[in-house]
């Protein structure tokens, strides 16, 4: 069936391939004994046994190229060999369909080094995503209660028993305290881009950043296995290529709705920040209450509509803020270096690489996970906190890996000062209280549960019930 297995008989069989804490058995000896003339019966009978469906699938497979049939025969056999690890209600017909679709776009043939074929086939069929989640247990009642307090922090009101509770929204706190703080943040961020008189603007290489983006896509899959690339319907199986989705932030629209969205995002970030007074908590703001989010929306809308200078400033920042447009949309990155007062160009490249990792995490987040932002009071824990938590994990490991080999740093910094190391602040989880809360959740439930929830949508593992 393959040169590696049939002639040199390596890698050894039987063997196991590990996916985190779970293992799959690999042994194709019985398949190799099966002649190709038996393929029609093999595929039809296997499909029937798996699905209890008498439909003959061989007519479809007969049209495949020979190497595609070889790949599929091994993939189906491997899947069947490890069937017992799957739950009783698993959709085997769906798995077969995915494997049939994958055969023509496969990246590794049976016998490939480092178990590349097995890793591809079991991920594509949905075996990996299902089994790694099945191996993890959700938090118990007491732990779930502690997690709930993180997702839904108490308000500033007091109940009859003296405990803190979320009361009626205090619009005055939003208007008189949050908005002035937000205006100050706009000026703080804009200052990073104001260059000294006579100092010309310098362009960053989007082409080079695209090369880094493709590297990061592969790096994340490797470093965050078995979770980041395990979702059978996710970016690693839907044709997503980071470099092709990367664009300059200059291409972003910056009309009134875009400026308003920018302000809303920053309002969430600074409004929950304890160092800035946790003003959203003080205002008894609850993102799950439509009236609260609508009130904040209206206040910021009015602010932009009545302050032309502020609106212009925010429009400038929209064009200079890394962003992910959601779903399969574009990922935008700044095309210029900031003011020299911010730091050196090498400092900024390290910062941009971190931004690239952060925005990639947005793209890899499972829709079932991101949907939870609307179900908790502090939605930005989901929207940004966990995103930056995982981005920081990747970035720290990346910095360790590349700094061990000088050529690695030179490739990333490309033409800039390769002796510059990442600023220590880049190695810390950002987004204020949202990042701190995501970190607190991980401290309680562990890395595996957080990653299974984030990449595979298993939110019950972090105390957020599946819907």
pLDDT digits (tens, 9 = 90+) for 133-147: 999 999 999 999 999
C-alpha span between 180 and 177 (Å, rounded): 6
Structure tokens at 373: 């932002």
Give me the sheet containing 323-324, strands edge to edge.
246-248, 331-333, 323-324
Which structure tokens are listed for 45? Answer: 């009978």
Position 326 scores a pLDDT of: 66
Query: What pLDDT was estimated at residue 3?
Result: 41
pLDDT of 92 reads 95
- pLDDT per residue as tens digits for the range 278-292: 899 899 998 888 899
Pick from 251, 247, 244, 267: nearest CA to 319: 251
Which CA distances in Å does 386 have to 15, 171, 179, 371, 447? Answer: 36, 29, 26, 13, 11
| Confidence label for 163 from pLDDT (cuts 50, 70 and 90) | low
Mean pLDDT for the stretch of residues 133-162 = 85
Pull the structure tokens for residue 202: 């310098």
The beta strand positions in 68-160, using DSSP E, are 157-158
Once rounded to an integer, what is the mean pLDDT over residues 34-38? 88
pLDDT of 210 over the 80 cut: yes
Task: Report phi then psi at 18, rounded to 5.
Answer: -90, 140
CA–CA distance from 175 to each of 171, 182, 280, 356, 439 (Å)?
Answer: 6, 10, 11, 34, 30
Residue 156: which of 10, 19, 314, 278 has the closest Cα?
278
Residue 23 has pLDDT above 60, yes or no: yes
Integer CA distances (angstroms), 165 to 129, 149, 159, 378, 437, in order: 38, 11, 6, 14, 19
Give per-residue pLDDT as tens, 244-284: 999 999 999 999 999 999 999 999 889 988 889 889 989 99
Write b or e for each residue in 352-365: b if 16 or more Cβ atoms lie within 10 A of its Cβ, otherwise e.
Answer: bbbbbbbbbbbbbb
Q: Please give the pLDDT value at position 165.
A: 72
Residue 263: name the closest of 238, 234, 239, 297 by CA.
297
Q: What is the pLDDT of residue 158?
A: 61
**pLDDT for the residue numbered 289:** 86
Q: How far apart are CA 255 and CA 461, in angstroms?
A: 40
Please say whether the beta carbons of 137 and 462 come within 8 A: no
pLDDT of residue 6: 42
For residues 410 and 337, which has the higher predicted lDDT (pLDDT)?
Answer: 337
Per-residue pLDDT reduced to its tens digit, 305-358: 999 999 999 999 999 998 887 666 789 999 999 998 898 999 999 999 999 999
Give residue 287's pLDDT: 84
Report pLDDT for 324. Answer: 85
DSSP 19: E
Helix axes 345-364, 206-223, angle to 10 degrees: 50
pLDDT at position 159 is 60
> Span 151-164, mean pLDDT?
69
Contact 243, 331 (CB under 8 A): no
Band (156; pLDDT cuts 50, 70, 90): low
pLDDT digits (tens, 9 = 90+) for 166-202: 888 999 999 999 999 999 999 999 999 988 888 888 8
pLDDT at 2: 42
What is the tens place of the pLDDT at every residue in 66-111? 999 999 999 999 999 999 999 999 999 999 999 999 999 999 999 9
pLDDT of residue 302: 96
- pLDDT above 90 as % of the chain: 75
Average pLDDT score, the chain: 91
- 335/112 Cα distance (integer angstroms): 40
The two three-digit tokens of residue 174, written as one number: 């939003």
| Residue 76 CA: distances (Å) to CA of 2, 142, 316, 449 | 15, 42, 54, 29
Structure tokens at 197: 């008189």
Is a pLDDT exceeding 90 seen at residue 405?
A: no
Q: Are 362 and 324 in contact (CB under 8 A)?
A: yes
Each residue's pLDDT tens digit, 211-245:
999 999 999 999 999 999 999 999 999 889 999 99
Every domain of the chain and the residues it spans: 3-134, 139-163+202-248+322-467, 168-201+253-318
- What is d(CA 359, CA 210) in angstroms, rounded to the nearest whole number? 13
DSSP line for 227-248: TTTT-TTSTTTTT--HHHHEEE
Tokens describing residue 371:
């949907």
Instruction: Find out whether 51 and 91 touch, Cβ atoms under 8 Å.
Output: no
Q: Span 6-13, mean pLDDT?
A: 57
End-to-end CA distance of the chain: 44
Whether 311 and 304 have beta carbons less than 8 Å apart is answered as: yes
What confidence tier does 415 reach under pLDDT thresholds 50, 70, 90? confident
Residue 122, Cβ density class (10 Å: 0-12 exposed, 13-18 middle, ≥19 buried): buried
pLDDT at 418: 84
Pairing assessment for the beta strands 157-158 and 164-165 based on DSSP bridges:
antiparallel
């Amino acid at each position: 069936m393959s040169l590696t297995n049939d002639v040199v008989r390596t890698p050894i069989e039987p063997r196991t391939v590990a996916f985190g804490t779970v293992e799959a058995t690999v042994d194709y000896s019985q398949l190799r004994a099966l002649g190709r003339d038996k393929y029609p019966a093999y595929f039809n009978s296997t499909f029937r046994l798996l699905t209890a469906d008498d439909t003959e699938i061989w007519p479809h497979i007969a049209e495949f190229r020979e190497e595609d049939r070889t790949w599929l025969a091994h993939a189906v056999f491997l899947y069947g060999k490890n069937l017992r690890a799957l739950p009783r209600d698993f959709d085997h017909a769906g798995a077969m369909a995915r494997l049939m679709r994958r055969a023509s776009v496969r990246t590794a043939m049976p016998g490939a080094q480092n178990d590349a074929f097995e890793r591809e086939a079991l991920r594509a069929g949905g075996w990996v995503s299902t089994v790694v989640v099945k191996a993890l247990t959700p938090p118990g009642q007491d732990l779930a209660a502690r997690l709930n307090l993180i997702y839904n922090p108490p308000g500033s009101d007091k109940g009859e028993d003296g405990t803190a509770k979320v009361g009626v929204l205090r619009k005055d706190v939003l208007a008189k305290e949050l908005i002035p703080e937000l205006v100050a943040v706009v000026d703080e961020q804009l200052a990073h881009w104001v260059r000294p008189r006579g100092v010309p603007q310098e362009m960053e290489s989007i082409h080079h950043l695209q090369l880094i983006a493709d590297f990061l896509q592969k790096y994340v899959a490797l470093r965050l296995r078995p979770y980041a690339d395990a979702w059978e319907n996710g970016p690693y199986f839907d044709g997503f290529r980071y470099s092709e989705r990367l664009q300059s932030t200059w291409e972003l629209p910056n009309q009134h709705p875009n400026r308003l969205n920018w302000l809303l995002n920053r309002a969430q970030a600074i409004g929950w920040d304890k160092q800035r007074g946790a003003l959203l908590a003080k205002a008894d703001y609850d993102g799950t209450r439509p009236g609260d989010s609508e009130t904040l929306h209206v206040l910021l809308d009015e602010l932009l509509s009545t302050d032309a200078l502020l609106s212009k400033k925010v429009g400038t920042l929209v064009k200079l803020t890394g962003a992910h447009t959601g779903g399969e949309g574009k990922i935008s990155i700044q095309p210029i270096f900031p003011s020299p007062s911010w730091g050196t160009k090498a400092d900024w490249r390290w910062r941009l690489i971190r931004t690239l990792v952060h925005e990639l995490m947005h793209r890899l987040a499972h829709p079932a996970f991101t949907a939870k932002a609307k179900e908790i009071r502090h939605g930005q824990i989901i929207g940004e906190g966990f995103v930056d938590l995982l981005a920081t994990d990747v970035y720290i490991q990346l910095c360790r890996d590349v700094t061990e080999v000088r050529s690695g740093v030179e490739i990333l910094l490309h033409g800039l000062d390769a002796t510059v190391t990442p600023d220590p602040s880049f190695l810390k989880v950002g987004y204020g209280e949202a990042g701190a809360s995501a970190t607190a959740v991980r401290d309680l439930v562990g890395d595996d549960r957080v990653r299974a929830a984030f990449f595979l949508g298993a939110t019950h593992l972090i105390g957020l019930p599946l819907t």
